[in-house]
């Protein structure tokens, strides 16, 4: 077991803590419990419209990395795609499985690491992830492995909301978040701090939201890891709905976070061999 620097824990121990964090967070992670079915349905329809434009009508084999409670996995399965979801957290996988069963959907759900995909080379048409790269200890390793499991011409999509920059040693950065966690802990009779990464973990996450420019580095990593035609697109309708949902959140949640509602999609394509290009029509309706 290798340790890095004074007072640093090993990567293995960090990953164990990260898994524990998401197991704990699974109990409260779906914020749609604070909204009604009308707004939740609008959110799902908006994301489906996005994927219809991106992927076309062909049934594709899609890997959802860090599937969590299954937002993307369930949505894509409802659209008729063959979906495989992986997550480090057994509790997240269990919750996703329960939600899929309630909707009578067939999902292939497995415990799996975003940095080391447990599948052979070139077996997926599409790889998707939502709010994942900031949680990864070695994001360049993860993105490289996503490309490995994609078929030539396949695409990877990373969805994220860039963080709102906050100056160090300010009320917004330290006092309000901790006050919010205290209020949540008292009001909901649970330890709100247990859902969040500690200082050691945050310091070791290259793309953590506390680090300036983390979203821009995501795009650069797609290029550095060999993806072609890398671009970031703002999802206007999804952003507007996200702002509406945040406005409906209980005050104890709004107290602690300066939230960015703007959803962006980073996409990149895996290169196609020259002889294949003329016959490749990804996402054509």
Domains of the chain: 11-277 (3.40.50.150)
* pLDDT tens-digit series, residues 93-130: 999 999 999 999 999 999 999 999 999 999 999 999 99
Phi, psi of 143 (to 5 degrees): -65, -40
Instruction: Work out the angle at residue 49's Cα, subtended by the Cα atoms of residues 126 and 224, and round it to the nearest 5 degrees.
Output: 35
pLDDT digits (tens, 9 = 90+) for 135-152: 999 999 999 999 999 999
Return the DSSP state at 116: B
Residue 215 CA: distances (Å) to CA of 29, 161, 186, 264: 22, 8, 34, 10
Per the model's pLDDT, the better-predicted residue between 249 and 272 turns out to be 272
Question: What pLDDT, on a 0 to 100 scale, did the predictor assign at position 282?
Answer: 56
pTM exceeds 0.85: yes
The pLDDT assigned to 285 comes to 45
Least confident of 35-44, 151-160, 171-180, 276-285: 276-285
Q: Is the pLDDT of residue 9 over 90?
A: no
Which residue is it, tokens 């803590």? 17
Q: 123: which 2 tokens?
A: 């077996």
pLDDT reading at 171 higher than 70 = no
Say yes or no to pLDDT of 5 above 50. no
| 3-state SS assignment for residue 235 | strand
Contact residues for 109 (Cβ-Cβ < 8 A; gap 6+) = 67, 73, 84, 85, 86, 87, 93, 96, 97, 100
Per-residue model confidence as pLDDT tens digits over 224-233: 999 999 999 9
In this prediction, residues 153-178 reach a mean pLDDT of 76
């Amino acid at each position: 077991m290798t340790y890095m620097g004074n007072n640093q824990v090993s990567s293995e121990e960090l990953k164990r803590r990260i898994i524990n964090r998401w197991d704990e967070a699974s109990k409260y992670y779906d914020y749609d419990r604070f909204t009604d079915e009308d707004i939740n349905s609008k959110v799902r329809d908006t994301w489906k419209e996005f994927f219809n434009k991106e992927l076309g009508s062909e049934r594709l084999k899609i890997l959802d990395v860090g599937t969590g409670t299954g937002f993307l996995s369930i949505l894509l399965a409802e659209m008729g795609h063959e979906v495989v979801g992986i997550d480090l957290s057994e509790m997240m996988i269990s919750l996703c499985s329960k939600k899929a069963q309630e909707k009578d959907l067939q999902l292939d759900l497995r415990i799996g690491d975003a940095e080391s995909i447990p599948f052979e080379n070139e077996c997926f048409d599409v790889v998707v992830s939502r709010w994942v790269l900031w949680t990864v200890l070695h994001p360049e390793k993860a993105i490289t492995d996503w490309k490995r499991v994609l078929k030539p011409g396949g695409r990877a999509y990373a969805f994220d909301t860039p963080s709102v920059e906050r100056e160090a040693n300010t009320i917004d950065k330290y006092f309000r978040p901790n006050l919010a966690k205290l209020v949540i802990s008292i009001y909901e009779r649970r330890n709100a701090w247990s859902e969040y990464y500690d200082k050691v973990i945050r310091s070791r996450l290259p793309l953590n939201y506390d680090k300036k420019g983390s979203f821009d580095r995501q795009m650069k990593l797609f290029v550095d890891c060999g993806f072609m035609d890398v671009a970031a697109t703002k999802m206007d309708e999804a952003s507007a709905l996200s702002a509406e949902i945040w406005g409906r959140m209980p005050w104890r949640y709004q107290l602690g976070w300066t939230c960015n509602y703007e959803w962006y999609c980073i996409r990149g394509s895996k290169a196609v061999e020259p002889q294949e290009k003329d016959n490749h029509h990804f996402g054509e309706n």
